[in-house]
Every structure is written in C-alpha cells, then in structure tokens.
Structure 1
Amino acid sequence: MGTWTVEELDRIGEAEELRISSLRRDGSFSKPIIIWVVRVGDDLYVRSAYGPDNPWYVNARRRGHGRVSAGGVEREVDFADASAADPRAIDAAYHAKYDPISSPRIVATVVGENVHPLTLRLIPREA
C-alpha cells in the first residue's frame, strides 16, 4: 500500500473537484467523472452523493481500483472501506469545504447517516 505525500494531500484536499475513474474488466480506466473529495487527517474520502446504485460507486466497489486526479495530482488508487473512519469528522470536512461554495441542498447529498455507508477511502497505489 502506498501513502500520500503531504503535498499530494494538500493539493487534492484543497481542490474543489476530483476526477475519478474505475478500472474496467479489460484493464483500461473508465471515463472520469467529477465528484467531491475531502481530507481528514492523512486520509482522503469520497462519497456517493446519489445512493449506492450510482454507477461510479458500483464500479469502484466492484473493481476496487481506479485513478483520481485533482489539484495537479494524478494517482492510481485503491477504493477502501471507510467504516473505521469517524463519519462525523468526514461530514464536518464536507461542510467546512463545500458549505461556503455550494447550496445546502447539494451539500446535504454527501453528509448524514444515509451516506455514511457510501464512503470510500482513497489509498494511493505504489508508483
């Protein structure tokens, strides 16, 4: 398992949007989609805003491997279970980062008990 550098954490954590793609069966990566990402400590988290059937989320869970790009950083990652993380800390990170730039209705899609189980931790793969 790889680790994020401080610079990568800062750049991705400060980026407003993250491009995320998952590994396909043929070994290629899917077309990237744009989602939100938050940093809590030395970890980066993403959530499925529109439920467990959101295609990017289904594929990320199924394949477990993908690629992310934000803040000038591009890395291959593993999509890891985040159930050991504090969901309230992740909610707070989403509020701190996105409340000032987005509507409460949109931020509400990535915070709260309904989306806690839909959280993935991004773990960088060794370069």
Structure 2
Amino acid sequence: VKDVTWKTYKNDRYGFEFPYPHTWQELRNPDNSDGVVLVLPNKENVEIRSYASKPVLEFSSKTQEHQEQGYNFRTNQGVFSVLTVEVKEKVTIIKLTITQAELEYSWQGQSNSQDFQNYYRLFYYIAQEYKISQ
C-alpha cells in the first residue's frame, strides 16, 4: 500500500470519493446506478465497485435503525459505517456501507477467494480512505 501510485475516483452527483491504484481501469456505471466499476487488468474477478443510491422509502427507517445499532467501522473521515466480508465459493467481497441523509453509499472490493489475502490490505486501506461530502 505504501508503494502504490494513487488516482482518486470522485462522484460529484452524490459527493463521494476514494483512492484506487493508478493501474486499475475504469468501466462504466454498474447496474444503472450512479457509480463506477474499476478492474485490475488481466485479473479475473478482481474489481472495485462503488455507487450511491436512495434506499426504498418504506425500508429506510428500519435500515437506519439497523445501521445505527450495527456500526463496526469508522472511516478516517470519522464516518461510522458497516464493513462486512462475504466469503463465497469462488469470490470474496469486502463491502463498506454508509447510510446518511437518505442516501446509501456502497463500496466493495472483490477477488477470487483463494487470492483475497493478497488484496485485503489494499481493500481495507481504500475503505478507510472513502469520503463523503457532509
């Protein structure tokens, strides 16, 4: 992480940003939402996704309640959030979720499960550096 040259992805519409290694390539918006997919060239299943969305209103109060009780991570900006690691058969995903001001910010790093240990420190660092406009 120390020897990496960084670029910054900034989303002006929803006001979030995070650093990523300069060798990663940007793809278009994921799943018709407002965000980005970054891939590591020549590495299958290694990617970073980030987007913001407005949660469905009827669930938002429950989501907010759950979020307030379930914080387990704090970004370097001081924003309380939820960080989870989901281990699947083929891929492992580390996911950061921030719910604030009727917006849900999602960021995730993914790699093949057998290679995840090689990317964990990088993904964790980026999650720490994730910023939202407040």
TM-score by length of 1: 0.26
Determine which structure has more spread, i.e. the larger CA radius of gyration: 2
Between Structure 1 and Structure 2, which shows a larger proportion of helix residues?
1
- Which protein, 1 or 2, shows the higher relative CO under an 8 Å CA cutoff with sep ≥ 6? 1
Between Structure 1 and Structure 2, which shows a larger proportion of strand residues?
2
